[in-house]
Amino acid sequence: MRALLSVSDKAGIIAFAQGLEKLNWEIVSTGGTYKKLHEAGIKVIEIDEVTKFPECFEGRVKTLNPYVHGGILYKRENAAHVAQAKELSVEGIDLVCVNLYPFKETIEHTENFDEIIENIDIGGPTMVRSAAKNFNDVLIVTATNDYDSVLNALRKNINTLDFRRSLMIKAFEHTAAYDAMIANYMNGRFNDGFGDYQFITGKKTFQTRYGENPHQKGALYEFDSHFTNNFKQVKGEASFNNINDVNGALKIASSFGEEAAVCIVKHGNPCGFAVKDTLFESYTEALKCDSISAFGGVVAVNGIVTKALAEKMNEIFLEVIMAADFEAGALEVFEKKKRLKLFSQGGTKLIMSKDSHDFKHIDGGFVYQNSDCICDNEVHNAHKKSKLTATKQEIKDLEIAWKVAGLTKSNCVVYVKNSAMVAVGMGMTSRVDAAQCALKKAKEMRIDVSGSAMASEAFFPFRDSIDAAATAGVKAIIEPGGSIRDDEVIEAANEHGISLYFTTVRHFLH
């Protein structure tokens, strides 16, 4: 039996080759892989001896040869194929171990296009595809973490069709993701990221308990190991909806940098938020906004959960808690809650992957766009339109309200008082309805919104929302501006003694 080993990532390749050698496999190799194996004392045949042709054009051509691909592709159970292989002196290659040139690593460290081009693998993907196509007869190994399972299958004579088929699927996934990465990079460099095709690839992290509903299947896929690098599932098995809610809560809580922010989310929408001196205070204040909706909700904590905070959170049923980390005592407290899921980032503050683009599925396709960014300076650079100037605390409340509004389903209106959200209306077809719905809920919760700051992620088309805010006792408002009736809105603010700021930036979230 003959194996062809040609890898860019050489981790574990010596042990793998040694394992094959002990099983009496003949090993063929190329370039740097050949050198590494030869220096390790492994008996290895250089690819030139197989191809009967020298590596040429600075290594661009070395395995694109009928002795290589014929050896991989001919069908072992087809008499005509076997006869032709014998006639052409083509020896079978029964295992191909290939991983590809480091294109991703190259584009991460250089803009030099010549270097980037030279790190586009040609021979590697071709060998992978050949071996994958002939998986009935050939083992194709593209992942270093499969070396042990392949050796085990060979040692125990369990190299079954199902096993080879599983490796074949991985191989085609490997080349598809590689080609997609190259195409996306080229479109990003030369077509502003919007070429004729857009390839979205992700690696499966885990299967969710189910999809949006129990009769649906679901799984989490990640870009470039972002989820794996940033998150650790400490406890429980998350559902599809849990992950969506965690994402919404994380975006809001992490947008406050080093501050002790806590966000509570239910069905993708915030129902509580606060930034206080401690995380315990922040959670306590956030819960006051809508303690009813918080039941069964998801909480994102921008910091480390202490035992005291865990005991406070344990007073109600929560589905998921995402935090920078958990103290050992907190984990002990949460162990009592069997249905609770915990996610940790293993740091001191929450961070986001900051994906450059996002997309949304529609019937028959998807819409794709640059990711929205709610910048820290949008409030501080906002244009004052009223006669009255907001106080320092009101500016802080406006900043909180603005960020929460920009990360909440439109139409959205957010009320914040003393650094805690006191009312929110979201996902409404009318902005005035969103404002009034928020106030109605606050009244039901017996929350006093007077003296609060209000934010709308898009402009107010009429002054009626300002009039309603004034009736509720709102003292400061921030919005993008841009309505043909801005003058009427400004006039209303001045009439009611409300400070009014325009950011000039809209943050719809549909």
From the CB of residue 258, how many other CB atoms can be counted at a distance below 10 Å?
Answer: 9
Q: Where are the beta strands (DSSP E) in 142-268?
A: 203-207, 219-222, 232-235, 260-266
What 3-state DSSP class applies to 265? strand
144: which DSSP letter?
Answer: G
Q: Which of 183, 223, 249 is nearest to 356 (CA)?
A: 223
Phi and psi (nearest 5°) for 435?
-65, -45
Cβ-proximal residues to 308 (8 Å cutoff; 6+ apart), any chain: 280
From CA 324, how far away is CA 351, in angstroms rounded?
Answer: 8
Q: Quickly count: other Cβ atoms within 10 Å of residue 179's Cβ.
A: 17
Separation between Cα atoms, residue 190 and residue 184, nearest integer Å: 10
288 is catalytic: no
- Give the β-pairing of 341-344 and 318-326: parallel
501: Cβ contacts below 8 Å, ≥ 6 apart:
379, 382, 383, 384, 385, 386, 390, 398, 476, 477, 478, 479
Q: Does 133 qualify as catalytic in the annotation? A: yes
DSSP 475: -
Residues 10, 81, 133, 203: which is the catalytic one?
133
Integer CA distances (angstroms), 355 to 75, 139, 251, in order: 45, 36, 12
Question: In sequence order, which residues have a C-beta less than 8 Å from that of residue 162 and are 6 or more positions away?
Answer: none
Burial of 128 (0-12, 13-18, 19+ CB in 10 A): buried
Say if CB 499 and CB 401 are below 8 A apart.
Answer: no
CA-closest candidate to residue 439, choices 402, 408, 476, 468 = 468
Residue at 346: amino acid letter: G
The catalytically annotated residue of 170, 203, 267, 288 is 267
What amino acid occupies position 271? C
Cross-strand pairs, 312: none
- Report the catalytic residues: 133, 267
